[in-house]
Amino acid sequence: MTLDTLPPHTGGAEHLARLLAQALLAGRWQPGDAFPRELDIARHFAVSRNQVRNALATLTSAGLLERTAGRGTLVREMGDWHLLDPLMSKWMTGLVNIDPQLVRAIYAFRYSAEPMVAGLAAQAALPEDLERLETAFAGMEKTAASTDLRGEHAEYDVAFHDATYRATHNLVWRQMGHLLRPSIMALVWGSQDRTGTLDDSLSRHRQVLEAIRNRDISAAESAAHEVLRRTAIDLGIVS
């Protein structure tokens, strides 16, 4: 793998980092492969070595690369990636060709965890949490009709689930919210035929909201479970 097929670079070390990260996330280097040298990258994108170093430092902190003086830069395997780093979410968002293995892993996690999260939320939610949930849900309803609002709809979807994680009032669970965006965005780009499915999805979300509002723990758990089953269908994981 060389740099030749990457899109051009228009400015900012941050941008360069995203560019390289997305190439890595798309699997354009194999784990264990040698990553290009600093000077080659700098020359190729016509940026200073400094920007390259900053970008590579960022990728290293996300667990994508491993650098050692004298030897060079190696690509790490997927198991070492820091999937819960918010930067990763940013990079994965809007990336069309995410490794399906990754989407499934994130989904499997949500499937096992999110019912419990909803249950915890039903225990711990405060009025402000309910407000966030309601606002997000209203947004989902409002944007459900038109197909060219589906990007906006997905944002409200993310906000709804994120509000659930936040409502646990646990610092660790709250961090997990970062995983939601890539997972839900994969949904948007992955499924074409959304006719009818949205109504179903909406009603399932409504049940989660109602259960949390009623502080009904087991109802929240099973409702979240149902939402995730719907998601699985839309992701094509089950039929």
Judged by the rule CB under 7 A, the positions of this chain that interact with DNA are 12-13, 35, 37-39, 47-51, 53-54, 56, 67-73
Instruction: Residue 85: name its binding partner from a copy of itself, DNA, none (Cβ under 5 to 8 Å by kind).
Output: a copy of itself
Bridge-partner residues for 65, per DSSP?
75
**Dihedral angle sign, alpha carbons of residues 47, 53, 54, 58:** positive
Q: Which residues bind a copy of itself (CB under 8 A)?
A: 54, 57-58, 61, 63, 78-79, 81-87, 102, 105-106, 108-109, 112-113, 116, 120, 170-175, 179
How far is residue 238's CA from residue 150's CA, in Å, rounded to a whole number?
A: 22
Instruction: Residue 39: name its binding partner from a copy of itself, DNA, none (Cβ under 5 to 8 Å by kind).
Output: DNA
How far is residue 29's CA from residue 130's CA, in Å, rounded to a whole number?
A: 44
Alpha helices in 26-126 (DSSP H): 38-45, 49-61, 86-92, 100-124
> CB 184 → a copy of itself: shortest distance, Å?
15
> CB 15 → DNA: shortest distance, Å?
10
> CB 123 → a copy of itself: shortest distance, Å?
10
Nearest to 91, CA basis, from 49, 59, 65, 61:
59
Instruction: Residue 109: name its binding partner from DNA, a copy of itself, none (Cβ under 5 to 8 Å by kind).
Output: a copy of itself
44: tokens are 């190729």
